Chain A
Amino acid sequence: MDSCHMDADIASRTEAIVGRLKPLEGPLLPILHDIQAEFGYVPQASLPVIAHGLNLSRAEVHGVVSFYHDYRETPAGRHVIKLCRAEACQSMGGDALAERLLGLLGLDWHETSADGAVTIEPVYCLGLCACAPAAMVDGEVIGRLDADAVQDLAKAVRA
């Protein structure tokens, strides 16, 4: 699909989501969540459609999208690792594990590997503070991480 057709496709799929969720009280976040679930990110081409549907300015919609850490401007890798960097995980050596994992992946925070295999993101608490250090990989939770587990993880997401 050329970019013009792609934008039209994004717009029509966005319109369907907006139409479905518009009756909610405070529909913007549910709409953005569904859009990210649909496309894997929040495409620029979605913004004017949302703005029109909710009677907002495009700037207002952009303001909301850019405020929240969850919404992506570009698609993530095939695997997404969210590694907890908050205090409970720090107390169990989380910082050293984070350095190790970044080193093994050759990435910095928020980066996606060139082959599109993996994105690594910091997260501030997964509520797994009694089995720290913790991470979430593709929505699955992992606790009691150690050097070996991190090594396995780096290998698994590259496979």
Chain B
Amino acid sequence: MSVKIYIPGDSGALAVGADKVAMRMAEAISARDLDVEIVRNGSRGLYWLEPMVEIETAAGRVAYGPVKPSDVEGLLAAGLLEGGDHPLCLGTTADIPYLKRQTRLTFARCGITDPLSLEDYRNHGGLAGLTNAVAMRPEAIVQQVTESGLRGRGGAGFPTGIKWKTVLEAEGAQKYIVCNADEGDSGTFADRMIMEGDPFVLIEGMAIAGIATGATKGYLYTRSEYPHAIRMITRAIEIARQNNILGPSVLGSGHAFDMEVREGAGAYVCGEETALLESLEGRRGVVRAKPPLPAHKGFLGRPTVVNNVISLASVPIIMDKGADYYRDFGMGRSRGTIPVQIAGNVRYGGLFEAAFGMSLGELVDDIGGGSATGRPVKAVQVGGPLGAYFPREMFDTPFDYEAFTAKGGLIGHAGIVVFDDTADMLKQARFAFEFCAIESCGKCTPCRIGSTRGVEVIDQIAAGIEPEKQKELVADLCNTMKFGSLCALGGFTPYPVMSALTHFPEDFRPVPMSQAAE
């Protein structure tokens, strides 16, 4: 049997040269006439170690990284194929502390399997959830998902089971499952990793959602900025169709479910579920007023489940291991695990899936290792461009939906962006308004006009023109946006702005003229 070498095909690995490493490895292998198979797996999510090469040995997989193309010859000479010692050797992959400390439920297979091998998928527990689901009544599936405590991982945190129940009970000849894979928040890449590293788990989750609600058609709406993910999920759907995981009779159950991929066109606001539905229908991505809820009148006015990638990808393990198994992880009303994405100016950036409840400080300092530049961490933004900036004094906040809300922030899609002490929080507040102005769909006034006015007022503060008066104006404007906007884009832009202003007031004091002139 040939030896297997794993070199990730995840875009995060490709961005730092994984293809070149794979090419050099293939050349070296063929020059030596070795019986070796190169598998392009997903990423384990240890991005500072990418490209991370793994070799399968009798004692488990051994990792090396970060590997450059020029390291390949040296690695082979050092006995790479037997897991030989080398300065880049990281030991047994499973024992790397960053991985060992995680609880990988949703990401159980990501980085381990060949993403397009259904055999790998089955061998690692795949399809067990769907197999259970097809033997159950829809009400029972919905019940199990409800009891698991799973809440929407896109950011809103709405109980997934309740949403499914609404669609199940809605009248309609045609219902839909729409997967929101429009992962536009800076600092997040969990959806991308699943689509590239374990696409079958998402397909399985969608099929279960379809059977549970009576929806026979699914759409996955993702970003044009994710071409690799689109390629992988599209191929995985074809494979799933050939193997009766999708089609007129899912796993021979008589339930029909099929799905297709739709590509967005560079509009951040389409991550908002109603704007997404408009876009999917072929219109401008303009937000709809709710009610009616998408569960009643969604895609083409028909009952529609709109769920985030991670919500759907967490369903198979719930259907496999049971609601209790999943619910037993976590804290308070935040049950199960959350794949936290640690990013930006951080030493150990990557994906860290753990039960809810870890403190922000543990994630940033302990797991993330502080800033990449080695300078003190000044602030972290949690939850994307609409999330609050947290100062070090608030690092004791546990990762939990309610705890973050209580601190004037949000978990969002669980991305953490770390900034060192060179960050200028006035500039970050200005960017929050600027981004809102660029991406506003234009439907409601507080967002459309407020964002542009916000940039202007911040510029006045920076210029030292009546700064105290301007700060009051910013607070007033944020209040209007928060309570007067139709969706989270205008409604949550105040989070980064006000948190920057509240927690970092020193950055909003204009530099005295004499000093500025020097």
Contact = CB atoms under 8 A, between A and B. Distances in A.
A130 B8 CA distance: 15
List 3 tightest A-B contacts by C-beta distance, closest first. Answer: A28-B282, A130-B349, A143-B15
A127 B431 CA distance: 19
Contacts of B282: 26-29, 54, 64
A2 interface: no
Interface string B281-303: 11111100000000000011000
Interface string A123-159: 1111111111010100111111000000000000000
Contacts of B441: 67
Given A87-B417, A127-B189, A139 B381 contact: no
A139 B227 contact: yes
Contacts of A131: 12, 15-16, 47, 50, 349
A32 interface: yes
A126 B225 contact: yes
B419 interface: yes
Given A69-B265, A130-B48, 9 more contacts: A29-B280, A30-B262, A70-B266, A90-B428, A124-B268, A129-B187, A131-B15, A131-B50, A144-B16
Contact of A67 (B285, B351, B423): B285
Interface in B344-375: 344-346, 349-351, 372
Contact of A127 (B16, B183, B280, B438): B183
Nearest to A24: B260
B343 interface: yes
Contacts of A90: 428, 431
Contact of B300 (A25, A70, A82, A92): A25
A124 B419 contact: no
B265 A87 contact: no
Contacts of B487: none
A47 to B, nearest CB: 14
Interface of B: 11-12, 14-16, 47-48, 50, 183-189, 191-192, 224-229, 262-268, 279-286, 299-300, 341-346, 349-351, 372, 381, 385, 415, 417-420, 423, 428, 431, 435, 438-439, 441
A125 B15 contact: no
A136 B225 contact: yes
Interface string A63-98: 110011111000000000010001111111000000
Contacts of A20: none
A130 B265 contact: no
Contacts of A134: 15
Contacts of A52: none
A159 to B, nearest CB: 19
Given A29-B279, A131-B50, A124 B285 contact: no
A33 interface: yes
A91 B423 contact: yes
Nearest to B11: A141
